[in-house]
Amino acid sequence: MDDSIEKRLAPLRAAIDRLDAELVRLLNERAQLAADVGKVKGEVDAPVLRTEREAEVVRKVTAVSHGPLPATALANVFREIMSACRALERPLTVAFLGPAGTFSETAMHRQFGTSVSGLACATLDEVFRATEAGSAEVGIVPLENSTEGAVSRTLDLLLATPLKLMAELTLTVDHNLLTHSGTMDGVQLICAHSQALAQCAGWLAQHFPAIERRAVASNAEGARLASDDASVAAIAGDRAAARYQLSAVATHIQDDPNNRTRFAVLGRQATRPSQAPGRDKTSLILSVPNKAGAVFHMLEPLSRHSVSMTRFESRPARVGTWEYYFYVDVEGHQADPKVATALAELQRACAFYKCLGSYPAER
């Protein structure tokens, strides 16, 4: 490199080195404060994880930034800082749909950072069971996809679980067609989760209509099968490709280029309301008697108390004839006065009422 360029770079690099040393000092100071928080929590057996507090930290640091770093980059940095500091209290165990390499694992790291202990589960049922039994402090499960709608098994499991929703996050989902060789030579079967197969149905029909498709427990399971058998192709993301040493035949094969999946964090503790009003969401499961006007009367208190509904989805109750459960999201925390009043009135109109919990709304 030209000597004149080196001379110009030298003071800039020296300034960066000074700032890095100061950052390390401040990070260690923050870590010590986090350890002190852990000691106080330990005295009263308070939970290590407070999703509402972590969401508030991310909101505050992104709100005060006016520099070149985008808010998403700052959020990622601070999630890792909180992850490392949280681990000083006790490593967090998170159950997710495995094996390693799934989008659920990506969602876990996006929400909690990399200083966590992931517990890979073979099915969504096992994610719920592990979290309910205390093998994991929290679990993370897919709720709905922007292309294919709700994940039916998750909705069914939410109906019976004692777990509460503690957080939500949305992940952009890019699907790749993966094989050992990076070609489709000799491939007789394409494996993926049923949702991924549906999200790529149009592309598969256009490019490989004659090849059998088979639904498996997860995309990463499909990638694992492809890594063991050259006649199998998988649909999965970059993490699974790297994990199972597969090459891409094609990338971004989802039919919707804006394909996204919403995930929920499940746990045994309730969250507190956010410091700023309107930053929470509450999820409900409801049913009403099968009679004229029942759904209107059920939802009328929300309108009357100005509580906005952001999601309304029905699912067959599997009991009786033409009876349904309604999965409803509303803005606000169940402890907010107007939300609490509306929900109390709504509950009186319901044949079945279950509050899945209130949690920080993703913005």
Q: What is the distance between the alpha carbons of residues 177 and 183, in angstroms, rounded to a whole number?
A: 9
- Beta-carbon contacts of 264 under 8 Å, excluding residues fewer than 6 positions away, are 140, 141, 143, 154, 165, 167, 168
Task: Give residue 172's pLDDT.
Answer: 92
Q: Whole-model pTM? A: 0.87
Q: Give the tokens for residue 322.
A: 């033409």
Q: Across residues 7-21, what is the average pLDDT?
A: 94
**Domain layout of the chain by residue ranges:** 1-46, 176-250, 272-360
Per-residue pLDDT tens over the stretch 36-78: 988 888 888 888 899 999 999 999 998 888 889 999 899 999 9
CA distances from 319 to 47, 322, 323, 324, 327 (A): 38, 8, 7, 9, 17
pLDDT tens digits for range 107-165:
999 999 999 999 999 999 999 999 999 999 999 999 999 888 889 999 999 999 999 99
User: What pLDDT was estimated at residue 323?
Assistant: 80
CA-to-CA separations, 153 to 158, 244, 260, in angstroms, rounded: 9, 27, 18
Res 290: pLDDT: 76
CATH of domain 272-360: 3.30.70.260
340 or 3, higher pLDDT: 340
Report pLDDT digits (tens) over 273-323. Answer: 988 777 999 999 999 887 778 888 888 999 999 999 999 998 887 665 558
For 85, residues 6+ apart whose C-beta sits below 8 A from its C-beta are 30, 31, 34, 35
pLDDT at 320: 59
Least confident of 14-18, 79-83, 296-300, 308-312: 296-300
- Domain 176-250: CATH class, spelled out: alpha beta
The reported pLDDT for the residue numbered 85 is 93
- Mean predicted confidence (pLDDT) in 248-262: 94
What DSSP character marks residue 257? Answer: T
| Residue 321, pLDDT score | 57
Q: Specify the pLDDT at position 174.
A: 93
For residues 219-226, average pLDDT: 95
The pLDDT, as a whole number, for residue 129 is 98
Each residue's pLDDT tens digit, 166-194: 999 999 999 999 999 999 999 999 999 99
Output the six-digit token pair for 212: 């059998």
Instruction: Compute the Cα dihedral for 353, 357, 359, 362 and give only its sign.
Output: negative
Q: Which of 198, 228, 199, 243 is nearest to 99 (CA)?
A: 243
Q: How far is Cα of residue 39 from the mean position of the Cα atoms in its chain?
A: 29
Measured CA to CA, the distance from residue 127 to residue 132 in angstroms comes to: 9
The pLDDT value given to residue 14 = 96
- Kindly list the distances between the CA atom of residue 223 and the CA atoms of 101, 127, 172, 240, in Å, as whole numbers in the listed order: 8, 20, 19, 6
Looking at residue 319, what is its pLDDT?
A: 63
